[in-house]
Structure 1
């Protein structure tokens, strides 16, 4: 979820231009708050039942898979300004990331994630955060409420 905040290029574009540029189409992702990732990692680090080198996999996700259009609608509702979604090709998305200062390989990798979203490969939700921490992961709506001022008025303080 923190990708929607600056300094990530996605967060910067939302703040400055009120737009999300994506090659994901209507693809969905179970966006997760880093606070939930940290809580799950903390449990795994202090759990005496986890042996060093344990190879169990935990798919950490938020509680619901959302598209960028869903995310834009939620941000619009809380930030009080319209956020639009522009559908572009993956190579254009990678170029935007490179222009924002990302290394070429990393920019291409992020653009490839969007291609995977479009193909439906990331439309997954798990109970791992709940299973590990005993509480459900934060919904995107709550994350946006916590950070609405980041996007309101282009991130500028109100007068």
Structure 2
């Protein structure tokens, strides 16, 4: 049995619609102090890594070398911040043509949750470490859709 959400109301009539419909589960941030905590973080990164679809990606891109510690330091172990950083990093990697995530690429991205429907006054936006401004985009863009439109018109002629 999971403990009740610390945001749930004591009285059912005061509960929000979401709280009445669902069991809310509080996910605390990952920690990086013990071997078990580091293993849990790295295991989570391995799961994220399996979903990456970058052309120059390689096994261990998020889980080997200094990358696990870098990602933890950059996100403070907050899963939502990690997700935002990886999404923005993949977008930048595709746009720039690098097609892989590296520390310098991720360092170039600002990490912010502003404007994504979170209430800063309610503590829904964690402290985010500062980063340098995003680099300008340039070059030819890769088609990120997995649609197969068949042979090109010139191939059928």
Provide TM-score, normalisation by structure 2.
0.24
Higher RCO (C-alpha under 8 Å, 6+ residues apart)? 1
TM-score by length of 1: 0.23
Compare the two structures and name the one with the higher helix fraction: 1
